[in-house]
Amino acid sequence: MKPSLPLGFQGNGVAAGIKRSLRLDLALFYSQAPAKVAALFTSNAIKAAPLKVCKEYLARNKYFRALVANSGNANCFTGKVGLADAKQIGLWVARGLGLKKEEVLVASTGIIGRRMPLAKVKSALPQLVAGLSAKGIASAKKAIMTTDTRGKEAYFKFKLGNKTVTIYGVAKGSGMIGPKVATMLCFIFTDANISRRALKSALKAAADKSFNCITVDGCMSTNDTVMLFANGLAKNDLIEGGRNLDLFRQALSRVCLVLAQMIIRDAEGASKFITVKVSGARNIREAKRVALGIADSNLFKTAMFASSPNVLGRIVAAAGASGVGLDEDKLKIAFSPLAKKEVEVKVALGRGRAEAIVYTSDLTYKYVKINAEYN
């Protein structure tokens, strides 16, 4: 079944000229009804201007109607000018849609340290607004891509009583992918009627098992953003807790995990999708620490690329360097055939019952080429 947007949501994407390639680079997502929003941002000490604007608006506004996002320019490390530019773009969109400026959130991804080409963005906005439609989501998801080779979308429909609820998400991400929200933009939309508190808790729980469990190169960006919009147009009974919240969490987690895995499958230059499962830890935090230690090891990732028998040694060394006190006699390691496109690594620590799963990719010549030429 073809993915479909939840009730009341529209999108569009245009080429504003932010990218030298003149590809789609400006996206707009719109809700016909006021929407509650939960958001997660990078834990990087340096945060891009759009993130600062979003945090400001989220702290003082209860409902939102639109999100404007661009690729090709991160609008980061641009000082007060960059902050003013982010607000100006949001204001122009608000005027075009007949909204208050605080009802429009902003996001950016791309090159750090360059000022946004405001004139180009302003010229493209009338076309962007006029082209809003449910079908426009196809161009919107492409407009947020940078080194991605394909757009990423996922959705899930489920019943709450006699009402059908839809959750739909789009994401971009291919390189600079590390945990703590990863390096990505992800925008999720639902027509569920849900309390603000439940929305926030559901997003955090879903991210912890998806976007915070992927890594391509362990590099944290300045623009990582995950936003979840809920406009309530499904008209289900308000979700606050209990079984309905459990169902919503399960559906949201499913959408987030699919998007997170799509990012790894599209990792820059990657030839393999690798699942690292660590079990027998004393707690989840310890299990994830070991899993990420392995997944982020360049020696492990290059050995995987070469299907090298020495991958065992790389796993042992990375696990031991994770900082978790391991007993060599209890450590057990197994992995599926290395020549395949999908490889599973299992590491049993023999310390307890907790486990964690991390998804990663191999490190290839192409990854180096892509990032050496990125400008």
Residue 311, domain extent = 273-372
Q: Is the pLDDT of residue 219 over 90?
A: no
Question: 139-189, pLDDT tens digit by residue?
Answer: 999 999 988 888 999 999 999 999 999 999 999 976 544 545 445 899 999
Single out the catalytic residue among 42, 78, 147, 183: 183
- Residue at a domain's end among 248, 265, 282: 265
Query: Rounded mean pLDDT of 240-261?
Result: 97
64 near 35, Cβ under 8 Å?
yes
Residue 217 pLDDT exceeds 90: no
Residue 4 covered by a domain: no
Does residue 316 belong to any structural domain of this protein? yes
pLDDT of residue 181: 47
What pLDDT, in 10s, does the model give residues 96-148? 999 999 999 999 999 999 999 999 999 999 999 999 999 999 999 999 998 88
Assess whether 21 and 125 both reside in one domain: yes
DSSP letters of 214-277?
A: EESS----S--EEEEEE--TT-PPPB-SHHHHHHHHHHHHHHHHHHHHHHHHT-TT---EEEEE
Give the residue-averaged pLDDT of 266-271. Answer: 87
Model confidence over 290-315: pLDDT tens digits? 999 999 999 999 999 999 999 999 99
Q: What is the pLDDT of residue 372?
A: 84
Name which of 367, 304, 313 is nearest 341 in CA terms: 304
**Residue 99 and residue 127 in one domain:** yes
> Which of the listed residues 232, 265, 298 is the one where a domain comes to its end?
265
Indicate if 23 and 123 belong to the same structural domain: yes
Q: Which of 210, 244, 265 is the last residue of a domain?
A: 265
Q: Does residue 3 form part of some domain?
A: no
Residue 41 sits in a domain whose CATH number is 3.60.70.12
This prediction's pTM: 0.93
- Number of folded domains in the chain? 2
CATH of the domain at 345: 3.10.20.340
User: Is residue 2, in this structure, part of any structural domain at all?
Assistant: no
Cα angle, residue 58 at apex, residues 56 and 64 outer, rounded to 5°: 125
Residue 315, token pair as written in the block: 């796993």
Query: Which tokens sit at 5?
Result: 């947007």
Query: Tell me, what's the pLDDT at 179?
Result: 47
User: Is 146 a residue of the active site?
Assistant: no
The answer to whether residues 311 and 215 belong to one domain is no
Please state at what angle helix 298-305 crosses helix 284-295, rounded to 10 degrees: 60
* Residue 284 sits in the same domain as residue 349: yes
Query: Within this chain, do residues 189 and 249 fall inside the same structural domain, yes or no?
Result: yes
